């Protein structure tokens, strides 16, 4: 069954790991958020007030291109998407990294992009998969993957940013209405080391996709 699935969740929640696993299981193409080739990301962590707006515009452009390609192809898994970009921009605004004028410019651009997506025959993903878990596990995973610019040691401002982002994710998920959605607790599964857990996760995802497709057909 061809479908477009998008992952969502905190930095360090495991979106790329889940994307790889789902893509391999379904035989679909994976779209990954580029970190190594992002010219702004490390600059943002060094000076968020200077680089937050530029970073969000960079991400918005990259994710718009990815979701548009994915919706046209209709056989993909994305490890992050345009739909949660506004959350990161909102949190940066709350922290004083993005001005109200920059927020207005960003939101106007996002609205224009969402209108363009409405013109694509497949207007939205089949399913959004939100990876949720305790804040402590998120911090552990950020530390384990070892990107220097993401580490909170001796950086209370970065910890505060992570906490604020984490605290706003649930409300974002509850308000998401572009497609069917499910929440997966990352504390309940070890997909890196357990094929049984991989199969359990895939069963949940495939059931949710089938239910979403059935509901869409009923409404057509």
Q: Which of 47, 69, 79, 197 is catalytic?
A: 79
The pTM assigned to this predicted structure is 0.92
Q: What is the pLDDT of residues 91-123, one digit of tens each?
A: 999 999 999 999 999 999 999 999 999 888 888
Class of domain 4-219: alpha beta
Q: What is the pLDDT of residues 132-184, one digit of tens each?
A: 999 999 999 999 988 899 999 999 999 999 999 999 999 999 999 999 999 99
Q: Which residues pair with 5 in a beta bridge?
A: 77, 127
Active-site residue flag, 157: no
List b or e across 173-195, with b for residues whose CB sees 16 or more CB atoms inside 10 angstroms.
beeeeebbbeebebeebebeeee
The pLDDT of residue 213: 80
Domain boundaries along the sequence of the chain: 4-219
Q: What is the pLDDT of residues 170-207, one digit of tens each?
A: 999 999 999 999 999 999 999 999 999 999 999 999 99
The kind and range of the H/E element at 69 are: helix 48-73
Q: Which residues pair with 76 in a beta bridge?
A: 4, 29
């Amino acid at each position: 069954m061809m479908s477009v699935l998008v992952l969502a969740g905190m930095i360090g929640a495991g979106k790329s790991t889940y994307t790889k696993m789902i893509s391999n299981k379904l035989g679909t193409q994976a779209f990954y958020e580029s970190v190594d080739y992002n010219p702004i990301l490390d600059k943002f962590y060094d000076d968020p007030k200077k680089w937050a707006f530029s970073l969000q515009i960079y991400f918005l452009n990259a994710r718009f291109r990815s979701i548009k390609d994915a919706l046209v192809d209709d056989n993909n898994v994305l490890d992050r998407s345009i739909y949660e970009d506004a959350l990161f921009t909102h949190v940066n605004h709350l922290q004083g990294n993005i001005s109200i004028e920059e927020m207005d410019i960003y939101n106007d651009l996002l609205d224009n992009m969402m209108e363009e997506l409405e013109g694509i025959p497949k207007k939205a993903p089949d399913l959004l998969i939100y990876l949720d878990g305790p804040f402590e596990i998120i911090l552990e995973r950020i530390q384990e993957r070892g990107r220097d610019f993401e580490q909170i040691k001796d950086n209370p401002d970065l910890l505060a940013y992570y906490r604020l982002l984490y605290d706003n994710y649930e409300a974002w998920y509850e308000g998401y209405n572009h497609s069917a959605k499910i929440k997966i607790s990352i504390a309940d599964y070890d997909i890196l080391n357990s094929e049984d857990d991989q199969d359990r996760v895939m069963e949940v995802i495939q059931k949710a996709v089938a239910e979403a497709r059935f509901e869409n057909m009923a409404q057509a």
